[in-house]
Structure 1
Amino acid sequence: MSTMLHMTDVRKTYATGVVQVEALRGVDLDVAEGDYLAIMGPSGSGKSTLMHIIGCLDVPTSGTYLLDGTDVSQMSEKQLAEVRNRKIGFVFQQFNLLPSLTALRNVELPLVYAGVPVAERRERAMAALDKVGLAERVQHRPGELSGGQQQRVSVARALVTDPALLLADEPTGNLDSHSTAEILELFAELNEAGRTIVIITHELEVAEHAKRRAFIRDGLLNATDAVLGGVH
């Protein structure tokens, strides 16, 4: 099985005035293709910084990060944007859907940015919405959908480019218990179908659905813990 994500001694330092803050202090991380990893940590632990680097929203100050075999450690903003569009599907706590667009148009957006022809992007967006169980809601706008349905739209948008990695940041943070269970079941189904998933969460109940857990504190990531098959 190939390695999807490989980090070696990744460090991230921020300058705040004359003070240097080391948010990540030498992170080593390996995620295999088809893995499902939950990264947990308290506020201020470096969790968000690590998520930004995994998602190619930022680069490390030092260290190496290989994503699907490509070294993205010191790429330019333009190069990172291309990698994000091709390799990573994002799911956020706030959904980040455009309220004026239908579910279908929201899911099409990454394909618009990628320059995919209209007919093809419409077909792919329809297929992605069908995969998350929203084939009957494609013409609904976000305000006409429940929180759980909105998050399913955001998952469909993340999947529409067929990314190597699905990266979810607190994806159930704005959902009730029923919708949370539905989204976690969807993630389990996607992972069983071969999708590599990394989820950032502070909720143990969410992390327990992953195959493995890792804990970050004070910028240091511990060895990952196996969760026997996840809780599906």
Structure 2
Amino acid sequence: MTPDPSPLLELTGITKTYRSGTLEVTALHGVDVTVAEGEYVAIMGPSGSGKSTLMHILGCLDVATAGTYRLAGADVGGMSEEELAAVRNQRIGFVFQQFHLLPSMPAWRNVELPLCYAGTGRAERRRRAEASLERVGLGERLAHRPGELSGGQQQRVAVARALVTDPALILADEPTGNLDSSSTEDVLDLLDELHEAGRTIVLITHEQDVAARARRVLRLHDGEVVSDTAGVAS
């Protein structure tokens, strides 16, 4: 019998409260979520449901007010700012709706940036950036700047950048929000391929057809998980 995959993400009783003067707003109410290594999970919810807050906590961009978040067994809540920065750089690959590419740099230079921050040598950075672009089908676009690429190609560069550090987790926040239908399919096909290769993917989206590509769908409402179901593609 094959053993169950190890949990990569473990959230227990996660609560997030924002305070401004005497005003308090609780965005998450005691959220419990476990994601195993190699899972492909979509998180859905309407505006104000708490999905962006949850994404920020998963990505170590924010910390919970209460509860415990373990990433690969490590308690994120007990980490220093320096340790959190290292986790964001080395353990998590981010893909955002806005791409966040530097317009003056060619594709390979954009992709190598996380390795620059990690102190990787120049030749190794170039080798890994080119290999990552090859992986997403842009081996012939290494020297193209973002303005010379379509929206779908720019998002593929962003995915290559997310992959270049070989992270434990790919965290994609509305990755198809700025793309046409054809480019959306291309990027979702790429995420499917990464999942099939064993990557753990958490996808934040408000679009039902995008979420359906995941193998598991969590729905948030008013800061609570209201359903946890298998995706259409599972």
Q: Give yes or no for TM over 0.5.
A: yes
Within-5 A mapping of 1:1-232: 1-230=5-234
In structure 1, the residue corresponding to 2:112 is in which secondary structure? helix
Instruction: Find runs of 4+ consecutive structure 1 residues off by over 3 angstroms.
Output: none
In structure 2, the residue corresponding to 1:4 is in which secondary structure? strand
In structure 2, the residue corresponding to 1:58 is in which secondary structure? coil
Q: How far 1:117 sits from its partner (Å)?
A: 0.5
Q: How far 1:224 sits from its partner (Å)?
A: 1.4
CA contact (8 A) 2:212 2:233 kept: no
Give the distance between the partners of 2:20 and 2:200, measured in 1 at CA. Answer: 35
Q: How far 1:228 sits from its partner (Å)?
A: 4.7
Q: How far 1:63 sits from its partner (Å)?
A: 0.3
CA contact (8 A) 1:60 1:74 kept: no
Give the distance between the partners of 1:148 and 1:202, measured in 2 at CA. Answer: 19
C-alpha RMSD of the superposition: 0.8
In structure 2, the residue corresponding to 1:27 is in which secondary structure? strand
CA contact (8 A) 1:36 1:210 kept: yes
Give the distance between the partners of 1:206 and 1:160, measured in 2 at CA. Answer: 24
In structure 2, the residue corresponding to 1:56 is in which secondary structure? coil
In structure 1, the residue corresponding to 2:77 is in which secondary structure? coil
- For 1:198, the aligned partner's letter is V
Alpha-carbon distance change, 206 to 180 in structure 1, aligned in 2, over 3 angstroms: same
Query: What CA deviation, in whole Å up to 9, does each residue of 1:82-139 have, x standing for no partner?
Result: 1111110000000000000000000000000000001111110011000000000000
- For 1:190, the aligned partner's letter is L
CA contact (8 A) 2:214 2:232 kept: no
- For 2:220, the aligned partner's letter is I
CA contact (8 A) 1:59 1:75 kept: no
Which consecutive unaligned segments of at least 5 residues does structure 1 have?
Answer: none
In structure 2, the residue corresponding to 1:222 is in which secondary structure? strand
Query: What CA deviation, in whole Å up to 9, does each residue of 1:194-229 have, x standing for no partner?
Result: 000000000001000000000011110134101254
* TM-score, with length taken from structure 2: 0.97
CA contact (8 A) 1:110 1:157 kept: yes
In structure 1, the residue corresponding to 2:13 is in which secondary structure? strand
CA contact (8 A) 1:148 1:175 kept: yes
Give the distance between the partners of 2:147 and 2:116, measured in 1 at CA. Answer: 23
Q: How far 1:16 sits from its partner (Å)?
A: 2.1
Which consecutive unaligned segments of at least 5 residues does structure 2 have?
Answer: none
Q: Percent identity?
A: 66
Q: How far 1:76 sits from its partner (Å)?
A: 2.4
More moved, 158-167 vs 61-70: 61-70
